């Protein structure tokens, strides 16, 4: 059974103690709708799903869970069967945790890089209007957006998505930064150009200079003016725009990147191409952007990335082990 096209990113959970900053950031700047605020969690909407981004109260300033939506019961059974065959443990989530995620039921397992991977079929929907500062967000058959990660075990991470979710390689980008080559593989699960991007440093040992489990999560807005207005709001509120507005070479998305209160970045993008399976041939690009995406006041992690070439100490901390289920 081939499940390509029947898999999409559904939700993201991060842990943070900075609830007020997250409300300013996600709702007032990026235009996500705060749909629920409790002592323990913030929930944000971008469409008719009750929850797409959930911030849970906690000490890690990091992404902890990634929800993956499957088309139906047969797809779920197929994926669980594949996990069984490889001896990968999973468990059914509790009813209480399902409500917290805005889904009817879910299955959970320890995924690559210690992100808890959660499988669900049906989201809980709402008929309430989406109150947002932007025109809206594109989701539908493409899912919530995409995530990008740096990995010390990129081959395993890519194989994980290919083996269990029938991911396809859309294209790759090779970018030279101060003498160090960064290779990024873009994997698609459906017609979205990519749902998961895996970045690695070239060489026998892959370094991971990013503290957080994901480097960025992408949300796709409906209008180019959503990009410019959100960009301006982020600057007005003093959030750190890490990469200025630019156009990506491969998915042709116009976007900018801003550091969230928990350090991982959010990419707000507009108008990426969709993949036509009948015509697509994977290609290799040699730069990330056609124009723009210039770094602004680099964060320590970005400075590190840019200074890889001169790096001769502190390598040990970059070699911490990375969990892989396969």
Residues near Fe ion, by CB under 5 A? 218, 267
CB of 6 to Fe ion, least distance (A): 23
Q: What distance, in Å, lies between the first and last C-alpha atoms of the chain?
A: 21
CB of 67 to Fe ion, least distance (A): 18
When the beta carbons of 79 and 214 are compared against Fe ion, the nearer one is 214
When the beta carbons of 23 and 266 are compared against Fe ion, the nearer one is 266
Within 13 Å, how many C-alpha atoms sit on residue 157's CB side? Answer: 27
When the beta carbons of 163 and 183 are compared against Fe ion, the nearer one is 183
When the beta carbons of 41 and 167 are compared against Fe ion, the nearer one is 167
Hey, what are 325's tokens?
A: 């289920």
Could you give the 3-state DSSP secondary structure of residue 192?
A: strand
Positive or negative: CA dihedral 306, 307, 308, 313: negative
CB of 288 to Fe ion, least distance (A): 9
- Any bridge partners for residue 103, and if so which? 123
When the beta carbons of 166 and 267 are compared against Fe ion, the nearer one is 267
Kindly tell me the burial class for residue 263, based on how many C-beta atoms sit within 10 Å of its own C-beta (0-12, 13-18, 19 or more): middle
Residue found under tokens 């892989």 = 324
What's the CA gap between 78 and 326, in Å, rounded? 18
Buried residues in 45-73 as b, exposed as e (16+ CB within 10 A): bbbebbbbbbbbeeeebbbbbbbbbbeee
Kindly tell me the burial class for residue 88, based on how many C-beta atoms sit within 10 Å of its own C-beta (0-12, 13-18, 19 or more): middle
When the beta carbons of 98 and 288 are compared against Fe ion, the nearer one is 288
CB of 218 to Fe ion, least distance (A): 4
CB of 216 to Fe ion, least distance (A): 6
Greatest Cα pair distance, the chain, in angstroms, is: 56
CB of 140 to Fe ion, least distance (A): 18
CB of 228 to Fe ion, least distance (A): 18
When the beta carbons of 126 and 172 are compared against Fe ion, the nearer one is 172
């Amino acid at each position: 059974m081939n499940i390509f096209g029947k898999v999409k990113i559904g939700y993201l959970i991060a842990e943070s103690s900075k609830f007020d900053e997250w409300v300013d950031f996600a709702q007032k700047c990026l235009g996500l709708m705060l749909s629920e605020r409790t002592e323990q969690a913030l929930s944000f909407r971008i469409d008719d799903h009750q929850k797409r981004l959930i911030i849970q109260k906690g000490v890690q300033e990091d992404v902890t869970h990634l929800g993956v939506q499957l088309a139906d019961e047969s797809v779920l059974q197929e994926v669980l069967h594949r996990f069984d065959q490889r001896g990968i443990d999973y468990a059914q989530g509790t009813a209480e945790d399902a409500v917290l995620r805005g889904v009817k039921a879910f299955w959970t397992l320890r995924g690559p890089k210690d992100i808890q991977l959660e499988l669900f079929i049906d989201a809980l929907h709402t008929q309430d209007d989406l109150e947002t500062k932007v025109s809206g967000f594109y989701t539908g058959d493409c899912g919530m957006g995409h995530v990008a990660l740096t990995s010390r075990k990129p081959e395993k991470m890519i194989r994980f998505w290919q083996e269990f979710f029938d991911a396809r390689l859309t294209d790759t980008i090779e970018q030279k930064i101060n003498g160090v080559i960064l290779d990024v593989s873009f994997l698609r699960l459906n017609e979205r150009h990519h749902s998961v991007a895996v970045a690695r440093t070239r060489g026998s040992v892959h370094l991971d200079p990013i503290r957080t489990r994901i480097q960025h999560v992408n949300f796709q807005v409906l209008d180019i003016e959503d990009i410019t207005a959100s960009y301006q709001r982020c600057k007005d509120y003093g959030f750190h725009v890490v990469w200025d507005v630019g156009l990506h070479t491969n998915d042709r998305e116009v976007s900018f990147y801003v550091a969230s209160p928990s350090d991982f970045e959010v990419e707000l993008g507009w108008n990426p191409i969709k993949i036509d399976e009948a015509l697509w041939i994977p290609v290799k690009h040699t730069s990330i952007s056609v124009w723009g995406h210039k770094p602004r006041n680099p964060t320590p992690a970005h400075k590190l990335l840019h200074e890889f070439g001169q790096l001769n100490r502190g390598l040990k901390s970059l070699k911490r082990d990375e969990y892989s289920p396969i």
